[in-house]
Structure 1
Amino acid sequence: MRRFVLILLLLLIVPIAVSAGKYWLGDRSVDWQSADRSSAGLLPLAAQHPDALVRVFAARTVRWRGIFAVHSWIVVKPANASRYTRYDYTAWGAPIRVNGFVADGRWFGDEPQLIAAADGEAAAVMIPKIEAAVKGYRLAAYGDYRAWPGPNSNTFVAAVLAAVPELRTTLPPTAIGKDYPWDNDWIAWTPSGTGVRATLGGYLGLTLGWIEGLELNVLGAVIGVDLRRPAIKLPGLGRIGVSAA
């Protein structure tokens, strides 16, 4: 038992220490007020892309919190629409923000990572479900946002993804808050619908699913393994292996 506890502590502490080192060496320690929030060029011009489109992005959060976590968001565009619609959940104002930022914009200097994508008819079927999930999200009142253990931006995106399990995706292990029980169910299906998650208010949890893999959540820090698209999942450092997208 002592050996198991020691290994668990090392898997929690060492990756976070490495991520902290990258931050303090200047990798992500930028001034948030002057940080770049322009397009990262990950999306085509909407007017030149007639097909329906769905994208899920994530990028490191602002300042020191980026050591531990990413901020995630969803972008949709119905067929023949002239612009993208971006959905975020933030700590200021009304939590759900629509088009508050550039659709594929850098998140205060950090370039977004593509988490999931759908195009054409598949995306067209998903978009009404996504819009309904955003509209019906129950934690949308002023003051509902809580950075840790949730509900935060990743809780919101995980809840919306649960409405479109056909997207067959999961948020990265650094998406702290994704395991917060937005539906008040401590035991429930995973957002992909391919497994089960159990959580104690987001502080402690276990997830097992074909898309999600095996994940242990300890105070928001996730350790896990993905067999479907081989990778290990570590706190701070995220996914190491084959991309999940």
Structure 2
Amino acid sequence: MLRAVRLTRLALLGFVLLFALPLGAHALVQWQQVDWTHNWRNADWSSTGTLPLAAEHRPAMVRIYAARVGRWRSIFAVHSWIVFKEAGADAYERYDKVGWGRPIRHNGYPADGRWYGNAPEVVFEATGEEAERLIPKLQAAIASYPYAEAGDYDVWPGPNSNSFVAYVLSRVPEMAVALPPTAIGKDYPVNGEWIGLAPSRTGVRITLDGYAGLTLAWVEGVEINILGAIAGLDLRHPGIKLPGFGRIGL
């Protein structure tokens, strides 16, 4: 009995230190730094100008982006999307999953656009021959996504925008990239399997339908998922992962 009580106390302490405190601290940071009055209509969705003009950049290119979502939800989560351009193409192709209309949105926003006014970060980038090899596989993965019809969207725990991108990445494991730990929904089991390989295929993932889980993999690192919030360690590029803040490199 005493041992059970100690274990319970340790579990509660771990929850407070790894989940509650980081989320509370990040809420204070966001409250001080972010204007939560922006709604869908008055937010800035314009290009950040960080991508070269497609017509002037002839090599193929692939990018994965992630940007903070809007208003109070920015405490917890980012929205991710896929961008690519075939060699010689005069325009970029952007794919997002959204919660209205037909969920898979093609070129609905500028390729490097802000999301709710928040500038995106580049999660992955490839150019030239590497991008040329990846693009057909990305196109096939996007076309095979099983939640592509109206109504196939749930903000939490998924399938949402991050579930879509995580699924595509799992179909192209040679990209060897993990979405940010703040990409809530990335651990939703699109294939229905609660136990299986991590999206990168470099380890294993156990998930309780996206509500909780554990990932142990070289690319993803060690990730503990509780209600979509993730804490853990980045092994490949040493760092820690905290809810709200995301990855903090050492």
* SS at 2:125 equivalent: strand
Change (3 A) 1:30 1:51: farther
Q: If the length of structure 2 is used for normalisation, what is the TM-score?
A: 0.94
The one-letter code sitting in structure 1 at the alignment partner of 2:191 is: D
What's the offset of the Cα at 1:185?
A: 1.0
Q: How far apart, in 1, do the equivalents of 2:132 and 2:201 lie? A: 20
1:230 aligns with 2:228: no
Q: What per-residue deviation string (whole Å, max 9, x for no partner) do you get for residues 20-54 of structure 1?
A: 11222242424122221111122111011111110
- The match for 2:159 is 151
- Residue type of the alignment partner of 1:10: L
Counterpart residue identity of residue 7, structure 1: G
**Match of residue 123 from structure 1:** 131
Q: Is the aligned partner of 1:91 residue 2:99?
A: yes
**Matches of residues 61-140 of structure 1 in structure 2 within 5 Å?**
61-140=69-148
Structure 1 runs not aligned, ≥5 long? none
Structure-2 change in CA distance of 1:224 and 1:28 (3 Å): farther
Which residues of 2 match residues 154-173 of structure 1 at below 5 A?
A: 154-173=162-181
2:156 counterpart SS class: coil
Cα-Cα RMSD:
1.1
- Matched AA of 1:104: D
Residues in 1 aligned to 2:49 and 2:37: alpha-carbon distance in whole angstroms: 21
- How far, CA to CA, are the matches of 2:35 and 2:129 in structure 1? 38
Larger radius of gyration: 2
Taking the aligned partners of 2:56 and 2:35, their CA distance within structure 1 comes to: 33
Q: Secondary structure at the match of 2:164?
A: helix
- Matched residue type, 2:66: A
Q: Which moved more, 1:188-197 or 1:177-186?
A: 188-197
Contact 1:22 1:28 in 2 (8 A): no
Q: Does 1:10 align with 2:17?
A: yes
**Partner in structure 1 of residue 4 of structure 2:** none
Long gaps (5+) in structure 2 = 1-6
SS at match of 2:30: helix
Q: Which residue of 1 aligns with 2:3?
A: none
Identity of aligned residues (%): 56
Q: Distance in 2 between matches of 1:233 and 1:16?
A: 12
From the superposition, tell whether residues 226 and 28 of structure 1 become closer, same or farther in structure 2 (CA, over 3 Å): farther
Which amino acid is 2:30 matched to? Answer: Y
Q: Quick one: distance in 1 between partners of 2:58 and 2:160?
A: 32
Equivalence for 1:179: 187
Q: Is the helix fraction higher in 1 or 2?
A: 2
